[in-house]
Structure 1
Amino acid sequence: MPEGHSVHRIARQFDRNFVGRPLAASSPQGRFAEGAELISGRAATSVRAVGKQMFLEFDDDLWLRVHLGLYGAWDFAGEILVDPTIAAANGRMGQTNQRGTDLGAEPILDAAGENSLSSIGAPRRARGRVRMSEQTTGLQEELEWPPPVVGQVRLRLLTDVTCADLRGPTACVLQTPDEVAATIAKLGPDPLVDGTEAGEERFVAAVRRRATAIGLLLMDQSVVSGIGNVYRAELLFRARLNPHTPGRDVPEELVRGLWRDWARLLTIGVDIGQMMTMDDLDPDAYRRAMASRDDRHWVYHRAGLPCRVCGTEIVVEEAAGRNLYWCPSCQR
C-alpha cells in the first residue's frame, strides 16, 4: 500500500503541474464518468495531502478526494515540471543521504518504481513516458499526445502538456468543503499537515488512553495518518518496542519518540521517494539501499533472516490482516 510519503509527493506533483490550470477530465474505465464530467473544464485551485489521502480543489468549492488504498497509483506523462523538493528522488539533482554525504548526480533507481517521477503509488512498472522539462536531461523523444489509455484508468486529468492517469484507487469521489472537513476530522495527525508539536500532543493522547497494542495503533489512521505496514514495522524496531505492548503501557517519552521518528522518516521519504529507515550508511551502502528494498530496512520483509543488530531470526505474524515483522530479542 502506498504510504504517506507517496501521497505527499503526488500532491507536490499536482501543485507543480496542475494547480492553476483548467483540466480536461474523463473516466476511460467508466466508473467515474459523472464525476469526471462535473470537473472537466474547471481550474484546479489547490491541492493537499493528509496521511494517505489527497484532496484536489476545483473552482466553485468542489473537491476531488482520492485514496489510493492497496493498489492505486497515479501515472504521469508529458512534460513534467520537476518540484525541486522531490527532484532528488530521480537522481537528477544529486543524491544526499541522511548524513549529508554528497553522492553525485547519477540516478539511483528502484526497480519497483517507488522513486519514479512517472508513476507514484502502488509499485508497478510505469505505463507512461515522461519528458521532464527542467533540471534534467530526461526523456526527450516526441510522445503521442494525448497518450493512449492503457488498462483500467478510473480518472484521466489533462492539461495541454501533462497527463495524470489514476488506476486502482480505493476511493475517487467528489466532495463539498464540509465533506472534506469531515473526512479530515476523522484522520489522526500528519506531521507535514498538523506540525510536529501540535501533532505530537494529539498522537500521545490517542495512544496513551488505549489498551490496543501499539502495533495496531500505528496502523489506525484515526490515531496517526500515513503510517502503513513498512513504516509501522520499522518505527517499532527503531524504538526497540514490542508491537504487542498496549498503547497505555508505552512510556510517554517512548510514545513521543515514535512521533518524532515518524516526522523524521516521513520527511526523508518525501524528499528521496523511498521508505529509507536505516541511518548512518556509508555512500556504497546508501546506493545499495536506494536501489533495493532488501538493503533499506531493519526488519520489514526479512522474516527468517537474522536481525541486523542481534542476529535473532526476524519473525512475521498476522496482525489485523497485515504482516507484522519484528525481532523478538531486540523488541522484548
Structure 2
Amino acid sequence: MTVSSSATTSRRATTKTILFAALAVALLVSIVLSGSTGQLGIPPLEVLGSLLHRVGIDWLPLPSHPMGDQTLWTVRFPRVAIAALIGAGLAVAGLLMQAIFGNPLAEPGVIGISSGAAVGAGLAIVFGVTVFGEWTTAVFAFAAGLGATLLVYAMSRAEGRTEVVTLVLTGIAVNAIAGAGIALLTFLGDTQSREQIVFWQLGSLAGSRWSQVAIIAPVIAVGLLSAYFAARKLDLLSLGERNARHLGVNVEVLRISMIFVVALLTGAAVAFAGIISFVGLVIPHLMRMILGPAHLPLVTASALGGALLLTLADLAARTVVPNADMPIGMLTALVGGPFFFWLLRRTRKRSGGWG
C-alpha cells in the first residue's frame, strides 16, 4: 500500500510538472504569435528578440521594420498583457466559485456576476461619475459584481447547502435583470456612452494601454495570492461543510472572503474588457480532470490555462476576419456554451436528476 501510494504521488508530481511546463511554453508561443501577427507582420524571432532586449539579452535580432519595435510595445504587447491577466483572473475566479459553492456549474458569467459588474461600469459611464478618478469604472464594476455575487449566494442556499438548480436559476434571473439595466442605461446615455456600453456587452481588448496594465496587474496579483493562501482551506471545504468545521475552518468567513476575491477579479476584468464568459467554467474543469481536486496546483494551472485561452482567443479575434476586430466575448461564448451544455448533462446524470 505504501509503495502504491508513493507511486501515485510521484505520478501526480510528474503530471503536474509536465502540465505547468506545457502551459508556460504554450503561453510564451501564443504571446510571440500575437506580437508577430497583424497588419504589420513581424517575424517571430524578431518579436522574441525585442522581448529579450528589454531584459538585457541581445541574442536575437530586433524588428527590422522601422516601426516594428514601437508597434510591439505600444499596441500589441499591452493588449497581450491585458489578455493574459484577465484570462488568469477569470479562470481563478471560476475555480474559487466552484470551490465555495461546492458545484461544477458556478462561473462568474453563468450566474450573472459579469453582467452585474457591467451594469456598475455602465452606471459610471452614463452618469459621468469620476469620484475615484481613473479607478471609478473599476470600483463601480467591483461593487456591482460583489452585490450580484452576494445575491446569488443568499438565494442558492437552503438547509445549509447550495442547490445547483437554484444557483443556475438565480443566475438566469440576475442576467435578465442586469440585461434590463444595461438596456435602460443604453437608452439614457448619449452616443459615446452607448458605444462604450456596447463594448462592455460584447467584450473587447481593443485600445489596451500600459496604464491599464499597471492598474489591473496588482489587482489580479492580490486575487491570485488570496487564492493560494486559501487553497488548503478550500481542500478541506471540499470534504463537506461539517468536516471542514471540525478541522478548524470557519466556513462562512472563508466563503465571504472568497466572494470578495471573485468580485475583485471579475470586476477588474469587466472594467477593462467587458463581459467575457465561460473562461472560468472551461479552464478549471479541464485542469481538474488532469490534476485532480487539490486546489494549490489548480490555482497555478488555472491561471496559466486562462491566460493561454484568452491570449489565443484575442489572437483569433484579430485574425479570423481580415481587417476586423471581432468581439472576444463572442468567441469565448462559442467555445464555452457547448461545454456548459455537456457539463450540465454530465452533472445531472451523476446526481441522478435534479428532482
TM-score bucket (shorter structure): 0.3 to 0.5
Scaled by the length of structure 2, what TM-score is found? 0.32
Scaled by the length of structure 1, what TM-score is found? 0.33
* Higher RCO (CA-CA < 8 Å; seq separation 6+): 2
